[in-house]
Amino acid sequence: MFSQALSPRASVQALRGGPHSCFHAAQLSARVPSAASIVQNSNCRARLTLDAVRLSRQSRVMQYKSYRLFHSTVVSRGVIPFHLADIGEGIQECEIVQWYVKEGDRIQMFDKLCEVQSDKATVEITSRYDGVVKKLHHKVGEMAKVGQPLCDIETASAQPTSAPAAASSVVAPAPKREPVKPAAPPSTPTAPVAPAEDGNAMTFATPAVRRVAKENGVDLRQISGSGKDGRILKEDVFAYIEAQKGGSSAVRPLPLAQTASAEIPTTPVPLTPLQKSMFKNMSRSLQIPHFLYSDDVYTDNLTQLRSSINKLIASEPKKHSMEKTSYMPILVKALSAALVDFPLLNAQLVTAADDPTDVSKAKLQYRSIHNVGFAMDSPLGLVVPVIKDVQNKSVLEVATEMYRLTELGKAGQIPPADFSGATITISNIGNIGGGVVSPVIPPDTLVIGGVGKIRRIPVVEESEGDERISIKSAMTVSFSADHRVVDGATVARFVSRWKAMLEDVGMLVSGLR
User: Is 487 a catalytic site residue?
Assistant: yes
Q: Are 222 and 193 in contact (CB under 8 A)?
A: yes
Q: Are 452 and 430 in contact (CB under 8 A)?
A: yes
Q: Are 121 and 376 in contact (CB under 8 A)?
A: no
User: Is 320 a catalytic site residue?
Assistant: no
Q: Are 446 and 485 in contact (CB under 8 A)?
A: yes
For 428, other C-beta atoms within 10 Å of its C-beta total 22
Within 13 Å, how many C-alpha atoms sit on residue 181's CB side? 2
Catalytic choice (86, 341, 487, 504): 487
For 414, other C-beta atoms within 10 Å of its C-beta total 26
| Widest Cα–Cα separation across the chain | 131
Between strands 149-155 and 143-145, the pairing is unpaired
What whole-number distance in Å separates Cα of residue 142 and Cα of residue 97?
Answer: 8
What whole-number distance in Å separates Cα of residue 320 and Cα of residue 402?
Answer: 12
Burial class (CB in 10 A: 0-12, 13-18, 19+), 135: middle
Q: Are 373 and 425 in contact (CB under 8 A)?
A: yes
| CB neighbour burial string for 237-249, b if at least 16 within 10 angstroms, e if fewer | bbbbbbbeeeeee
Catalytically annotated residues: 483, 487
